[in-house]
Structure 1
Amino acid sequence: MRKTIAGVDIPDGVMARAATEQIRGTESELMFQHALRAFLFGALTGYRENLAFDAELLYVAAMFHNAGLNAKYQRSPHRFEVDGANAARDFLRQYDVADHSIDEVRLAIALHTTPGIPEHLSPLVALLSAGVQMDVRGASHDAFTAQQRNEIVQACPRECGFKKKIIEAYARGMEHRPGTTFGTVNADILDRWDPNYRRLNFCGLVLGSDWPN
């Protein structure tokens, strides 16, 4: 892997290398490259907005943000974001990382699919979400130069058919726990993927509750 991509230095400490090895060994190449791009777009967002952030913690958060989609969690009752956040926590506890920093990484991963909230929290939380959203749905696409985008995609390729493939990866990681998609963009994924999926409706839950009025 190149050490600098689009002006962003790839963290290369012991912890970052271990995160790379663990995720590369457990996720598909498509999801690994997506994680790298999410880090790069997130870091560039931080530079552009003059935010102070720990690049290595952002890198670890990006590496683990989709860890909860792994087949090992196919019996999990939790949102995949929570499983990924917990996996990152367990990983970080092996290193000399402060508890508040571990909590921040967990929060970043847990909220990365919840629009409208991360950007109002700490830089790490905001930047992970920004990086993921840029790579998945092109959020703030024009805020990056064509050179930045091209260099990142050249170094960390988007597979042919990436858009459909990543939707499938999300769907397969959640199809056994459809209830966990309530209130997030994940409901849109299963709504498109599974013809038998019926999304929960908040108003229906309120009106159908056991309260008499």
Structure 2
Amino acid sequence: MEPTLPGSPVCGLAIEVATAYSSPSLLNHSMRVYAWAVALADVHHVEFDAELLFVAAMLHDVGLTAEFDSHTQPFEVAGGNVAWVFAAGAGWPPERRARLAEVIVRHMQAEVDPAEDPEGFLLSRAAAADIAGRGVADLPEDLRAQVLERHPRLDLVTEFLRCFGDQAARKPESSAAAAMRNDLATRMARNPLERN
């Protein structure tokens, strides 16, 4: 069953921001990432802060949007900075703002220690599942079908590869560039979620 969204007003604001600045494909990706993260928390027995994880999921790719793209920083760092500002406006204390930014930056790391950063671990694993199919087998089939029906993939592959290709061309040392060098296009095409 698809997870219930946290009832916090800040989560509602995060949806509003994500809806205003993300394409339908990226917005649906963000919603799926939260659903996958919650499911993976059960699989890996990870306790997490639902509000923090949800806001991170909604804003984790905001650095790919035209409005918040940085020509000097990797998209995940730019996105973390935007999220920090968002959280400041929402009244979060400085330590919680910093955690949100950290979770978003870490989502592009191949491995995040769940004991050190449970939300970063879940966001990283969930984003990798949704984009490249990593660990999709850990997600229950009925959940996959339900979430994909509610939040379809649309043209995510085309849009994401365009965004990452652009990031790679302008920032060759970035994590996006590394992903493109590691044949992200093939991994996205082979993602089982593309066939559901």
Give the TM-score, by structure 2 length: 0.84
The alpha-carbon distance between structure 1 residues 188 and 104, as it changes in their structure 2 partners (threshold 3 A), is same
Fraction of identical pairs, as percent: 22
- 1:5-64 CA distances to partner (integer Å, 9 max, x unpaired)? x24111232111111111111110000000110111011111232222111110110111
Tell me whether 1:163 sits opposite 2:157 in the alignment: yes
In structure 1, the gaps of 5 or more residues are: 1-5, 194-213
Partner of 1:107: helix, strand, or coil?
helix
Amino acid in the other structure paired with 2:6? P
Residue of structure 1 equivalent to 2:188: none
Pairwise CA RMSD: 2.2
Corresponding residue SS for 1:53: coil
| Alignment equivalent of 2:178, drawn from 162, 187, 194 | 187
Matched, 1:26 2:37: no
If each structure's helix is expressed as a fraction of its own residues, which one has the higher value?
2
> Offset at 1:163?
2.6
Give the length in aligned residue pairs: 184
Alpha carbons of 1:166 and 1:75: their partners in 2 closer, same or farther (altered >3 Å)? closer
Q: Relative to structure 1, is the Cα distance of residues 191 and 151 closer, same or farther in structure 2, using a 3 angstrom cutoff?
A: closer
Partner of 2:171: 178
Q: What stretches of structure 1 move > 4 A for 4+ residues in a row?
A: 190-193
Q: Which runs of 5+ in 2 are unaligned?
A: 185-196
1:87 aligns with 2:82: yes
Q: Taking structure 1 as the reference length, what is the TM-score of the superposition?
A: 0.78
Q: Pick closer, same or farther for the CA change 1:188–1:75 going to 2, 3 Å.
A: closer
| C-alpha distance in structure 1 between counterparts of 2:142 and 2:30, whole Å | 20
**Residues 138 and 119 from structure 1, CA distance in 2 versus in 1: closer, same or farther, beyond 3 angstroms?**
farther
Q: Is the 8 A contact 1:77 1:180 kept in 2?
A: no
Q: CA deviation at 1:74?
A: 4.6
Choose which of 54, 58, 65 in structure 2 pairs with 1:59: 54
Structure 2 Cα separation of the partners of residues 192 and 137 of structure 1: 10
Alpha-carbon deviation of 1:75?
5.1
Shift of 1:85: 0.2
Q: Which structure has the bigger radius of gyration?
A: 1
Find the aligned partners of 2:95 and 2:17 in 1 and give their Cα distance. Answer: 23
Q: Does 1:116 align with 2:111?
A: yes
